[in-house]
Structure 1
């Protein structure tokens, strides 16, 4: 006997004797716990249900009934529903317990597509599979006429009053995303009507005792033992491949900013716009801090001539290459809130084979209001593959090749406006005045520099048709500015090296027609991915799009380049492929506005109809007339030439103008001049001013001139 007291029964023995209690309690700390409550009540409460569409494995539309529950942290569906649609079952173990420790477990999960009948809205919901979810809802059918619902009300569940089974249970993860602002509350005895993306749902008290079964159901799910959950996750995360992360809102804005604002100058260099978090964020004064830091740096340069020489050489290289330029007096008048002065200092790297001293610009230094330029910029998504995957591929090649991009960041220009956020101070000698410079290229150590530089590497797709192997290596085997790739044979590695050389040595003095075409198709493709993502996904996976889509009437398809085009009925006429199947453009995309503007100028400022007709030879713009009209109306030249001539309203004629009389009995007088006249003799040099008096007869219009 143990002298200590048992912590289970308080008797003098060891608590491990209670094997049943120990085994029972050991099951409690599970990862996810589902709680269900069912009780008796005298009130009739209506739960929110909806009817949605989905597509089974054969591509046929099916309808199912959904229970919307804001108190649940998980989603469920019945096994019968999963088998009916032919959904793929994924093995999992989800312990579920109810009130009074009633236990069950879900062994499978499925992904259910939800299509709204109310609007163009789609959700992918991961559901745990159970044999049954709940009793039929409502408990008994009742007559909905007692609720006096408006006949034009679009109900999420048209048969909400008919007792039937529930196929899917949607929890709080998606519930709040479905809610729209409009709702109607009559009084506490009637159910609330709430507008959602699925239609109008009803929930709450019913005015009549319409059912004899007074049982009510409530659902609640929570996550217990989060620490244990995190520890377990680490085991399987090590074994799992890296998953593609969902794109955040800021990353989407960064990507769209890049697609819509990146251009190429006549020399072939790309010009990018820095992705700012908001245009309303104002910077403080950064000039004083930059002055103090530079004066401190200058004292160090004077004390070490070799240090000064290396630092000056680096800055001079920046200036000579056009990577920074001196500001004029007009530029210095821009408000402090729209400019930022970067601090700079030297970094030494003795192992470097090229540049042992490098000047680093500090974008994180704070201005007078506590904000730095890095605080105003978005980081942007990671667009290159992870280093681990690149090295793994590198090891499987029989022959390998490595390369890097020289001065990668400084190959990319920034806009004139954004260069004001990259100002620095510099002078060669203390005897000179401080000179203000603006950095014209993407600057390392700024928040968005890595994204902008690596994102431009992805534009290797421009040359995919000519150099597919090189482009594949650039897209998959680049880590920042380093290329780590290879091939299986010497011939392939030589061809890869040749393709890279041809790509890098290409001159950009003037773009060829093929290059312009590649560039145009690239930006159209990026625009379509941004605005027609769901339609493209459906066409890639199922080869059809939903009828609710705005493009459904166009019978769209993807060509061999992945571009979204109009289907139509012009397959047999003797027309070009572009005229038969126009490229589909979104009216709000920046590339669409540029195409419309360019066509408007090429047609010598043509009007709406002519511009539209010309564009339709190759492009199909959704809501084209509205988009074209907005561009044409903003054209300054068209506005000037189409301006209405203003005419002044004539006043009433005076009686003297219309009453017969002798000449000059009624007259008007005016003066002209001055004129210079000579006094005295013909050769006199004395000049004086004189004026001409003009007398006009108001009746006969005769005139008389007098020198005054």
Structure 2
């Protein structure tokens, strides 16, 4: 094709030759890897160049050579081209240019050709008699002066040549040229009549490829992909909405659609508040309340591709099969199309990663196949199979979930093929298993699975045993990216006295330590004085208030109003200590009683003060303790805090211990199943009763007992009289009962000494300190013990435990144990 623009002429000629050629590299310059391209002229009657169909069918992307045409911005490249007879030609460099159609300016292609001084002689080699080709006159030819010899300025590689070809052709006979439609115009191919004899026959061939060492290294290396921006599907959708809707108005303001994730009505009426926020704006603010729906349209017809990927410790790769349906004979045929493999790296890589790399190779291979076939045939479906559930789980999820190695490759796979096209297949049906594990030549010759694919591939698509892969079937896939959230908090520097208080459990001990610290700092003299306790107490209180009431202290010192919680207390500062104002300023009472010191509701120092007063006044109750504390301190919400501290006093608890009552177990089967009366009988005694055995003068009353036989099903009661509690008396009563009621099926152990039901507390655990309840001693004499082991029932509730005491280990029911309140 010759394209004239001003005085410059660029000739585009897709050409071929089957003669191999080589390229010699004299340095390690980095250039795009070119594939073989060729140039040839044929017999004078065939004055036009043709493209090699083998290269086009295999989808081989070839490099492009630029000849004597003008070009700018050359990138230097010290490379040599070698052709037939090892004749070399130097490459001047690499450039970038854009070619376009003379008929449609929107048809443009940007290429990066290699630059050489000269490509070939003028083509065609003889003048063509175009007057005899009148059927080509009205066609939009790519080169309207095709019949005149001209210099070849640009060679199109088969990768671009395959893209510009179209289906329409124009011909008149088998011995005359054929016009083939392309995006750049019609190309004239075939035999043509010439006017004069041929100038000569020439044939040239060029090939540029990498050194054998470089190619071998790539064969062993893992498939590498560049780092990409890992966004979630929602983030990608937001970015797409923004890029497709953003615009700039004439006023200079940028406008875009807000991508609402849900119903925007849930935000409420925000228009009025937004309008009030910008009263100077004259235009009304409009908010979109619908989410833009984006649909990804895609699909293929007629032709179907099946692809398989697999990996092992030896190799990994993928294989592509083409599935064609012939409606004439109603047959489905599947054939091997292409495959690619790599040797597994020497360094240890997990099998799941190798499986992912195999799928990446397969996606690149299939992308090339689809791009080649889609321009000529409509593709109906694409099926991708792998026997690795982990790799499929990675692919069917967002790349942002995974670590960098997996995320980059999943992103590249998604760019090539949609994840919905991936399915799971058994390893026995996977033909890529032959590729990854290897086959001997003898085995490969007649290997049906490799050449024809799995047996189901020869059936209609609706009969294939394929199902959508569920990524949730892999519970914990590896390579999950764990998000680490780092938070920084400013820890205030605690006062030394407050830090000391947090490490102690006694108010009196804390005051003594503070006195020692003040003596060491020479604030107090070494001679002891009772007033030193008051000074130490105020020092601890100041440290507590500086932390609990820091904002209120700052407001009081600056003359501002304190927080609402303290306003009603009329607080004020006295010697840097917050005190409650109140209405008792004129009362004849000590200063501390009229204006008690303010304390927070919850703090360790407050607990120490409450416990100190509780022990000082002999474990008094909450009401009296509150009254005693308020003579010097005012604790916020003091009533509840004091009650809680009193309940946690172990000494007070031991005077009135409360056992734990677990849930009662289920009733036994003989209590809830229908049976004959007295088939299941419980036995108990009542008494003693005083009776007169017989009437006679001077007979005294004697003791007697009532033996109760209770039917555990119907609650019927049978009563027998027993003279005493001896075994003989019981057996006699039992014989009389059996003679009247008949034989019984069960006499279970039964006792009426059951405790009353109560609310269940926390489940008792090993290591809990308890008090063992004893009916024969006072509560303060009950022994202490530690739970050594628990024995849960069938329902998991613990009702019996082993308790270790000072005298040994005993098994006791839980209802006989009283856990201490500080557990």
TM-score of the superposed pair, with normalisation by structure 2: 0.25
- Which structure is larger by alpha-carbon Rg, 1 or 2? 2
